[in-house]
Amino acid sequence: MKKLLSTFLPLFICGVAFSQSYAPLEPHGKLPDYFYYPSHKTVDAQIAQRDSKGDFVDQQEQDFMREMSYFSQQRMLSGLVLFNDSLSDYISKVAAVLLRNDTATLHQLHFYAYKSPDPNAFTSSTGTILVTVGLLAQLDNEAQLAYILSHEITHYREKHMLKGYLNREELKNNEDGTPTYELLSSYYSYNQEQELEADALGFELYKDSPYSAKEALRSFDVLEYCDLPFDDVPFDTLFFNHDYLKIPVGYYLTKVDPIYDDDNYEDRNSTHPNVRKRRMALMTEMDTIKDSNTKLYVVSKDEFLKIRETSRYEICRLYMIDRSYPEAIYCAYMMLKRHPNDLYLEKIIGRSLYELAAYNQDGSDGDDYYNPYMFSDYESNTGGRFSILDRGGYYRVPDYKDYPGQQQQLFHLFHSLGPDELTVLALSYNWNLHKTDPGDTFQTSLCDSLFSMLVNNQNLHYSYFSTISPDSARSALKKDSLQRVTETGESGESKYSRIDKFKLDDDKERFTKFAFVENLKDSEFVRQFKYYTNNRSSLVDGGSYTDWYGDDETKSERKQDAADEKMYGMGIQKVIVVNPDYEKYNQKVRGEDAEQDYTVSEEGQQQLGNLIKANAANAGLQCVMMNPFMMDSLDGDTFSDLAVLNEWFYERIQLGSTDYIAAMNNEAQVDSLIKKYGTQYVMFTMVESDAYKKIQHPFWFGVSCLAIVPAVRAFIPRNEVSYDNVILDLKTGKVVNIDHVKMKKGKEWENTDAYYKKLCGKMHRPKKPNTDGKPVSDAERGM
């Protein structure tokens, strides 16, 4: 990446000032106890209550309860689950209509909205039902939501998760030599039966409500086409055009692929029957009743429409977080059809164009596609859960053939545009947004970054771009040709004149060259463009290859580095610690994978939070601990702050490490947290403890004894504790420090205490003075 860009990078890592018409969804208010009360204590109470009634819980069901409760709660702690918000409240109201005659079940269930653009609903055995924002955005009416909730409620009532778990355990222990694929098929078929049962029994619940029965059938249309956007509106191929910036007609399709879906797809290896089977089964049920109910809305039509509109606003942002940039642009475009000139939606498009341009600066064909979900698999290769933060981020636009309907136009467009054209388009669009809202420093810095891309990566000089219209350029070219004839006496056009004329008539050439005709009349635009042109990076990479040949430090230099390590640190006075994680794994059977101990894991999370706080205090480091297990019902606002930071970190993980793309879309919220807590530093940390059997293979142990291999080694426990830690600057998105340490000797919590004691000391020690000898300022220390 060019050096010039890195010099101004901190300038554009600032708040995204979206319009005041919409604010990102956040949880708020009183914190539900399930978000902070350890799940193992809840399970202990449930088991004790059942045992007291003579309903004894066997060990297999206890294991299930602990596993499901743990993972369900971990999902709640992610920050993606909303509570005390308008979406969750509305979902709960619809559920209350369905369960008006079964208040016992209603009181066992909790309904929340879940921040994901994927249309889905989840049911936990603990009684938590989550409905995604993406699903709410897809619905036509309230009745469809009611049937979907009926289906999910049935999963809970019929204990489908427990039955599936027991069936899975039975298949795992099957020793009759049944082929694996048949075991999987049997397992999946069992689940398909559960889904059909949830459809049928869910309909029994639904048909007793005031809602129209036929809308239950219509819900399967939502299911069948849920991978499409919430609408299918023709994309205006002139949308990005203005003045003399004209996207070549060939970059759009003359005809998009029609939307067709085979609802009778092969489902042998799926947990769900195909849609046709489910639809036909429900039709059979409906044939036996007369639909006397015709209501599409019971709670409120106005409230439904408001909730759906809110969800559609939100998924534009969620698509952008997930790096689904064409989807984000298309959804924002459709919303703009209903809400013209909405600055929030326009900035979603501007930011997405910026990302597309930035990811294409190297002209890569996308072979190095960056999969954001691979980061958890990097530990064995790179040594760390968080190592992806230091890896380059890559992105490519998916194949437009996989996206039928009107959205296909955008996928085809972004496949067709070259890096220079994408950069020109992104700068043009974002500059207009900057002029609309000149006080938005984020928008200004996006434009600065795009100027640098044009000059340093695309090598397009300020003078390359025409200041006159194509018609004026043709007149000027004709005048030059006539003058050449006069001066040289030659008749006809020269080769170069014909080439210049061709460029004027070529859509692709004209698109880039004449993109800024009107912008170049703007003195501010000209000033910024000239600045980056005059201060461009060197055309030749002046890098050295000496780093490839190892460490050239002298012994004295290494000694000085060791001394500096003890004397200097990160210069942090205060840090926010977000949900420190602890996971305990025990190997129950030799040679098999270790299994997580959920009770010890949760107890360890609380212990780890207290340990970090104590070590921070001893080091003189101020620590804001955001550990849900150290909260109570009055800490709803703190948990909301945790949710904001988790979302920031999730997007930061998605983006990887790059000089261009480091500003997260919820920076406005994060900026307010920096002011609230008085620090720009945040720490994410986790400890994983693995305990293995002493002797993994008794046979080979015996062989080792005979082979003069020190037998004592076979008795040393294979216990391993790994520490993953990352400290980031919330203002810049930069990694301040990243660690991955493994320890195989010593006592676990003594080692853990020593690790965080050293880390907290390093954080608080002052930074090494600048080369000019001046001490690091308070501003540099994040204060």
pLDDT(350) > 90: yes
Question: Distance between CA 208 and CA 311 in Å, rounded?
Answer: 28
Written in H, E and C, the secondary structure of 103-143 is: HHHHHHCEEEEECCCCCCEEECCCCEEEEEHHHHHHCCCHH
pLDDT of residue 399: 94
Quickly list DSSP for 436-465.
Answer: HSTT-HHHHHHHHHHHHIIIIIS---GGGS
- DSSP-assigned states of every residue in 61-76: HHHHHHHHHHHHHHHH
Alpha-helical regions (H) of 506-635? 507-513, 523-534, 555-567, 598-619
Residues 6+ apart with CB under 8 A from 644: 26, 79, 666, 669, 670, 673
Tokens of 41: 């204590």
State the pLDDT at residue 9: 31
The helix or strand, by DSSP H or E, that contains position 684, with its residue range, turns out to be strand 681-691
Residue 565 structure tokens: 């390590």
b/e code 257-273 from CB counts within 10 Å (16+ = b): eeeeeebeeebeeeeeb
The arithmetic mean of pLDDT across residues 233-243, rounded, is 95
- Rounded distance between C-alpha atoms, residue 735 and residue 682, angstroms: 10
Domain ranges of the chain: 79-225+262-322, 344-534, 560-764
Distances (CA, A) of 486 to 110, 481, 483, 778: 86, 9, 5, 70
d(CA 550, CA 678): 41
pLDDT, tens only, 449-480: 999 999 999 999 888 898 888 878 777 766 66
Helices 636-655/667-677 angle, 10° precision: 130
Q: Which pLDDT value is given to residue 489?
A: 58
Residue 149: name the closest of 164, 127, 130, 124 by CA.
130
Which band of pLDDT confidence, cut at 50, 70 and 90, is reported for residue 190? low
DSSP state of 594: -
SS3 label, residue 584: strand
Neighbours of 391 (CB within 10 A): 15
CA-derived radius of gyration, the chain? 31
Cβ 740 vs Cβ 385: under 8 Å: yes
- 752 vs 165 pLDDT, higher one: 752
- Asked whether the whole model's pTM tops 0.75, one would answer yes
Say what the pLDDT of residue 544 is.
43
CA–CA gap between residue 484 and residue 161 (Å, rounded): 84
**Is the pLDDT reported for residue 30 higher than 50?**
yes
pLDDT for 546: 41
- Token pair recorded at residue 165: 């778990």
Residue 149 near residue 157 (C-beta atoms within 8 A): no
What angle do helix axes 180-207 and 142-157 make, rounded to 10 degrees? 120
Local confidence band at 370 (pLDDT 50, 70, 90 cut-offs): very low
pLDDT for residue 548 is more than 90: no
**Tens of pLDDT along 517-528?**
999 999 999 999
CA distance 594 to 589: 8
Instruction: Return the exposure string of 208-224: e unless at least 16 CB atoms fall within 10 Å of the residue's CB, then b.
Output: ebebbbebbbbbbbbbb
Beta bridge partners of 689: 584, 721
Q: Which residue has the higher pLDDT, 287 or 106?
A: 106
pLDDT at 561 over 80: no
φ, ψ at 123 (rounded to 5°): -125, 130
pLDDT digits (tens, 9 = 90+) for 694-749: 554 555 555 555 555 555 555 555 789 999 999 999 988 889 999 999 998 778 99
- Write down the mean pLDDT value for the chain: 83
364 pLDDT higher than 90: no
d(CA 195, CA 152): 10
pLDDT on residue 154: 96
User: Which tokens belong to 676?
Assistant: 């609230």
Question: What's the mean pLDDT in 414-434?
Answer: 96
Please report the pLDDT score of residue 620 as a whole number.
96
pLDDT score recorded for residue 284: 85
Distance (Å, whole) CA 83 – CA 673: 20
684 bridge partner residues: 726
Q: 266-312 pLDDT, tens per residue?
A: 878 778 888 899 999 898 888 777 766 789 999 999 999 999 999 99
DSSP character string of 260-302: ---TT---TTSSS--HHHHHHHHHHHHTTS-----BS-SS-HH
Instruction: Quote the pLDDT of residue 769.
Output: 82
Residues 740-768, buried b or exposed e (16+ Cβ, 10 A)?
beebeeeebeebbeebbbebbbbbbbbee
Number of helices followed by number of strands (H, E) in the chain: 28, 10
Instruction: Please give the pLDDT value at position 483.
Output: 62
Question: Within 10 Å of residue 322's Cβ, how many Cβ atoms?
Answer: 18
Position 200 pLDDT exceeds 70: yes
Is the model's pLDDT at 75 over the cut of 70?
yes
β partners of residue 575? 623
624, containing H or E segment: strand 622-626
Kindly tell me if the per-residue pLDDT of 631 is higher than 50. yes
pLDDT attached to residue 144: 97
What pLDDT does residue 4 have? 33
Instruction: Please state, for a pLDDT cut of 90, what percent of the chain lies above it.
Output: 57
From residue 424, alpha-carbon distances to 299, 447, 465, 619, 736 in Å are 49, 11, 11, 51, 33
Q: Cβ(446)–Cβ(354) under 8 Å? A: yes
Pick from 132-136, 510-514, 770-774 the range whose average pLDDT is largest. Answer: 132-136
Q: Of 427 and 164, which is predicted with more confidence?
A: 427
Residue with more model confidence, 189 or 104? 104
Query: Positive or negative CA dihedral for 657, 660, 664, 669?
Result: positive
Distance CA 716, CA 176 (A): 36
Cα separation, 334 vs 584, in Å, equals 47
Torsion sign, CA atoms 322, 609, 737, 554: negative
Q: Tokens standing for 143?
A: 């009745």
